[in-house]
Amino acid sequence: MTLLRGVLDKTGDLLAGVRDDQWHLATPCPEFDVRALSDHLVGWISYFDARCHDREFDGDPASYRSGDDPAAEFRAVAQNLVAGWDELGIERRVGAPGAQRPAETLFNITVTEYLAHGWDLAVATGQPVPFTDAESADVLVRAQGTLDPQYRGVGMPFGDIVEVDDGATATSRVVAFLGRHPTTGR
């Protein structure tokens, strides 16, 4: 839970650090500007929270539109999600009927999603990337064990793995594994 709490707290801080003149800036995700990325962050944390608590998510997380304070929305749901994982644990199955999966898979997807998109937000808005080497190294192991190759390539959610040099930071290794270029932000 320390990993989840750290990644979500830092992502919430990055959302809170977006200035009013930055909402239309491009991000390393070509389909998202900063506003669309913030909507994505809030919509999907709401989805992950519902699944953690074995509830249906009402609506489509990809179509979610946050209000005037996306950071506050994100933080409130993130706090509930962390409390849910604390209380219910990851040694169970979660999801919709007929689509149950190990809770640990959902947990791994969550920390990967928020570290990667936190990085995207930091790069887009010029904020320092806040994730520690320990958090990033843990997320990388989880991502490597969770992300199947069929989700990579053109038209897929993840690009091909980007090669990094031996001296790359753990965070750079995570984003490179997910198909982003850590040095260029694309």
Q: What is the pLDDT of residue 24?
A: 97
Q: Is the predicted pLDDT of residue 147 greater than 70, yes or no?
A: yes
175 CB-near residues (< 8 Å, 6+ apart):
28, 116, 119, 162, 182
Each residue of 67-86: b (16+ CB within 10 Å) or e? eeebbebbbbbbeebbebbe
Across residues 140-154, what is the average pLDDT? 91
User: pLDDT digits over 102-138, tens only?
Assistant: 999 999 999 999 999 999 999 999 999 999 999 999 9
Euclidean distance between the first and the last CA atom of the chain, given in angstroms as a whole number: 30
Q: What percent of the chain has pLDDT over 90?
A: 78
The Cα 27–Cα 93 span in angstroms is 34
Q: What is the pLDDT of residue 97?
A: 57
Output phi, psi for 162, to 5 deg. Answer: -95, 130
Domain ranges of the chain: 2-177
What topology is assigned to 2-177 in CATH?
Four Helix Bundle (Hemerythrin (Met), subunit A) (1.20.120)
The Cα 28–Cα 14 span in angstroms is 15
User: DSSP code of 161?
Assistant: P
Confidence of residue 96 (pLDDT cuts 50, 70, 90): low
Please name every residue paired with 93 in a beta bridge, in sequence order, or none if there are none: 102
Determine the distance from the C-alpha atom of residue 75 to the mean position of all C-alpha atoms in its chain, rounded to a whole number: 13
Mean pLDDT (the chain) is 93
Determine the distance from the C-alpha atom of residue 14 to the mean position of all C-alpha atoms in its chain, rounded to a whole number: 12
Confidence of residue 141 (pLDDT cuts 50, 70, 90): very high
The residue behind tokens 């909507």 is 39
The Cα 111–Cα 2 span in angstroms is 11
The residue behind tokens 């800036």 is 25
The Cα 155–Cα 157 span in angstroms is 7
Burial class (CB in 10 A: 0-12, 13-18, 19+), 88: middle
